[in-house]
Chains A and B, each alone.
Chain A
């Protein structure tokens, strides 16, 4: 079983203050730490588990700047055999453009696969679209929001999709296919610094995005970046910690949930 898994290096913006620069032209991420996209971490783990059980190899592919090599080393440390970087300095916001470039790459480099794994979405743009577009363009079946793989055979897989409110849907999908993985599907293995160091010894291949540009045209544009509209927002209990905590308890009493 040959599995291709996509992994992306993304800014960890959860606890960072973000600034828009150039009157909406750009978002300053220069002080933000970067990490592997959460969804891709689960997706790499799931692909590695499948080949550990039934044989074959996982090839990790990342599109981004040279720094993205970091997420490839990580994938190799987790059990991927190869790491391919499609290097580009440009950020392609349009999922259509990303998917077309990936399709061109897979075709031109003739990368063999039985299934392609992606994360459901990447944390930065939250588009959740590249997997579906890629599948349709390549004429492959597609399943997204996969929260469980019940079986993975040579010609088909039985998977569970996560719907809303705790409901799941079990579907059968024929291989080759594209599967988009939801977080929580597994418990990704711990990757040590030693493991990553060891993975650095495995050669990663670097390809230039410029070589796969056929029909890669953006169908959407970002006119501007803006801050979300502010609502009235919370009344902040400020001052000394002791004071705000007592105030908090006062609110709980007032609401009748704590005596």
Chain B
């Protein structure tokens, strides 16, 4: 029977919420979804899928791409080829998906954020999210896709009860790559997730020497300063101040974004803020799609003008 295989991401005993998007795309495509999960004691979303396969390995072994291909081989031997194999679009999902695509010689489309059922087209973003490509697999399947978090979960349907689980046992575990331990971020005195008002700066700041002026503006506004990935990568602000999927997810009353174009990984970390105000000189910057208010201007000029106004008694 035809089916779509959903490879779940379970991390530190948590069934990641973005797995719902993997299940959702199967429902949207009208395919029976079979959820592949690691062993362990956690709450999944079994009532949303048509079938369940438990691989008798721990999550860290499950999430190792060199071992995952062995698990997939066993699943395919037992159930036949799926129509599609779905992974999350994340640090581990993408790693697993690309390795599996190479191993099994399968078509792959990553970071899928939409699907057109009539044309059989997957949408994927290109060029800083300014262009979408309409992609279609042409090679022999199953096709591998990774799906962008938040894109398809609304399509997942509760089936009322969980299917009974099959198991995959005696998985060959790779010794060429092995998990050692998790490393937690160092604790710091600032917690940007607690701030009511964030002034967040991005690549548009241009260079490190401009940062103190933004810190001064944040001080005048009584805002806490944070930044997007490029600013953190360049060490202009410490890692604890990073907003985005690899940093912090924030929901302040006001998120004032200056010089941030709005890469998806950043948007995912701030889109639920009560009020988003974006300042950017590029009117096409994706952030204006998510912001409530916008100013299209040179951010340094806006910064200096705000400082002038605030300093004038």
List residues of A whose CB falls within 8 A of some B CB: 11, 13-18, 20, 24, 27, 38, 42, 93-96, 99, 123-137, 141-145, 158, 160-174, 177, 183-184, 187, 217-228, 230-231, 233-238, 241-242, 244-246, 248-249, 251-252, 255-258
Contact = CB atoms under 8 A, between A and B. Distances in A.
Nearest to B94: A128
Interface of B: 11-12, 65-66, 69, 90-92, 94-95, 97-103, 105-111, 119, 121, 123-140, 174-185, 196-197, 203-204, 221-223, 229-230, 232-235, 239, 242, 245-249, 252-254, 256, 261, 274-278, 281-286, 288-297, 301-302, 305-306, 309-310
Contacts of A141: 66, 174, 176-177
A172 B289 contact: no
A242 B27 CA distance: 51
Residues of B contacting A: mostly: mixed
B12 to A, nearest CB: 8
B94 to A, nearest CB: 5
A203 to B, nearest CB: 32
B176 A173 contact: yes
A230 B126 CA distance: 16
B155 to A, nearest CB: 17
B183 A167 contact: yes
A237 B261 CA distance: 17
Given A167-B184, A242-B305, A145 B95 contact: yes
B302 A245 contact: yes
Contacts of B309: 242, 245-246, 249
Contact of A144 (B95, B103, B131): B95
B293 A251 contact: yes
B97 A132 contact: yes
A13 B127 contact: yes
A10 to B, nearest CB: 9
The 10 A-B pairs with the shortest beta carbon distances in the complex, nearest first, are A132-B98, A219-B139, A136-B102, A133-B102, A234-B294, A166-B185, A219-B107, A184-B233, A257-B197, A234-B291
Given A15-B282, A128-B110, A234-B293, 18 more contacts: A126-B110, A126-B111, A129-B110, A135-B99, A145-B91, A165-B246, A166-B242, A219-B108, A219-B137, A220-B107, A222-B134, A223-B135, A233-B294, A237-B294, A248-B293, A249-B309, A252-B197, A258-B221
B305 A245 contact: yes
A168 B127 contact: no
Contact of A223 (B12, B107, B134): B134
A236 B229 contact: no
B295 A228 contact: no
A105 B229 CA distance: 34
Nearest to A137: B102
B246 A172 contact: no
B177 A93 contact: no
Contact of A226 (B92, B132, B254): B132
A132 B127 contact: no
Contacts of A145: 91, 95
A55 to B, nearest CB: 24
A20 B131 contact: yes
Contacts of A15: 204, 261, 281-282, 285
Contacts of B295: 236-237, 244-245, 248
A237 B174 contact: no
Given A132-B97, A183-B229, A236-B296, A251 B277 contact: yes
B101 A132 contact: yes
A180 to B, nearest CB: 8
Given A144-B95, A165-B248, A244 B297 contact: yes
B134 A252 contact: no
Nearest to B268: A164
Contacts of B302: 241, 244-245, 248
Contacts of B102: 96, 99, 132-137
A11 B197 CA distance: 34
Nearest to B303: A245
18 contacts: A14-B128, A27-B131, A127-B108, A129-B98, A133-B101, A141-B174, A144-B91, A165-B248, A166-B246, A167-B12, A220-B136, A220-B139, A233-B288, A233-B294, A235-B292, A237-B293, A248-B295, A252-B254
A169 B248 CA distance: 17
Contacts of A245: 295, 302, 305-306, 309
A167 B182 contact: yes
A234 B161 CA distance: 42
Contact of B253 (A16, A20, A256): A256
A142 B248 contact: no
Contacts of A231: 289-290
B97 A164 contact: no
A231 B66 CA distance: 41
Contacts of A246: 309
